[in-house]
Amino acid sequence: MSLDVAAIRRDFPIFAAQPPPFHYLDSAATAQICRPAAEALLRFETEARANVKRGVYRLADAATRAFEEARARVARLLGGVDPREVVFTSGTTLGLNLAAHTLAPRLGPGRRVLVSVLEHHSNLVPWQLVCARTGAELVPIPATGDGRLDQAALEARLDRRTAVVAVTHASNVTGAVTDVARVAAATRAVGAVLVVDGAQRIPHGPVDVRALGCDLYAFSGHKMFGATGAGVLWGRGELLAELPPFLGGGEMIARVTFAASRFADPPHRFEAGTPPIGPVLALGAAAAWMTALDWEAVQAHERALTRRLLDGLAALPEVRVLGPADPEARIGVVAFTLEPHHPHDVCQLLDVRGVCTRGGHHCAQPLMAHFGVEASVRASLALYNDETDVDALLEGLAFVRSQLG
């Protein structure tokens, strides 16, 4: 069954609001917000605003119930997990920092943290900081020539010294999808914890985190058609129960005295202070909207667009694509260079044609170094894109070449 992209686009107000031509190909940085999420955010902030968790008057009670319903909606998107395993954060970055901080007591001299070269800085720098603080060793997992996780190299590095393995589910540069289930099996065999950055994968369909076998999985609402300011760290209930708090303050405690504090059970133990209530409700609305989609049709549509883009770029002699050539091995995140031109110049000229792309190192400098480049242009597809967006980019690159020589 084919995807009705026109119907999908009607759920995104920006496409009616922006004057043509408008070809949005930067969803890997932030996706557009779907109408249900935008309406949930506006409704809370203008008609139902109250703090959550402890208010006993009707408005506050309604806000708390809506907040917990958002948690349940996210749990359904993640394969029907226990909602108590869903920790709300401000985004992927905070979720991964939470993971690194709370796992720090398991680290120390003689212990190792394995981090792949594919990672966004959000899944590398926190581990550098915690290793420097604890004396643990940070060990890189190399990438293959086409920018995929080198599974054999990972398995060769795993041993009983390994405490944590941190990998991306899908690269924000190459679009390469990691075989998380295989990584999880190897990680579990040595008794280590597997932390997965799911920020890029979650917009491309529901993820069954239990089936993947990972221990912690982080993502952001704004990349899955919600608002900025809210995200999720999912964790196995058994593991969350063992982890210490990350931030201290209100709402994460059961009892406080000057002598000591007793902390709340997960997930509230990890949600200190007033949460980003409106963005969380938008995240929940986006999760419900996503859950109702025909993902077989969506993914077939995205693969076809990715193939069209890769084939079009391959026909341009000055273009070098970073990442797998096979659309089956990647999501629609495609980074490339147009020699000898700087990516920022390319992106600015594409904008003249109404094509929105991103240029830079994409917060993945070790992976850029792996490819021997400082920066690249990145076009990222989502379910609301169609053939006209891909063709506009390819035609725009011809315009860029005519302008830059």
**Would you name the residues annotated as active-site residues?**
363
Q: What is the dihedral of CA 171, 175, 179, 184, to 10 degrees?
A: 20
What DSSP assignment string belongs to 246-295? SS-STTSEEEE-SS-EEEPPTTGGG--SS--HHHHHHHHHHHHHHHTS-H
Chain mean position to CA 108: 29
The secondary structure of residue 163, as a DSSP letter, is: E
Q: Which of 282, 235, 265 is nearest to 96 (CA)?
A: 235
> For residue 306, which amino acid is it?
T
Buried b / exposed e along 127-154 (16+ C-beta atoms within 10 A): beebbeebebbbbebebbebbbbbeebb
Alpha-carbon gap, residue 294 to 157, rounded angstroms: 40
Bridge partners for 330 per DSSP? 176
How far is residue 20 from each of residues 15, 32, 209, 237, 355, measured CA to CA in Å?
9, 16, 39, 48, 10
Residue 107, both tokens: 């680290």
Chain mean position to CA 182: 20
Alpha-carbon gap, residue 171 to 367, rounded angstroms: 10
- Kindly give, in sequence order, each residue whose CB lies less than 8 Å from that of residue 79, ignoring residues fewer than 6 positions away: 206, 207, 208, 209, 210, 211
Number of other residues whose CB lies within 10 A of the CB of residue 396: 24
Q: What is the dihedral of CA 77, 80, 82, 83, to 10 degrees?
A: 30
Residue 193, both tokens: 């914890």
Maximal C-alpha separation, the chain = 72
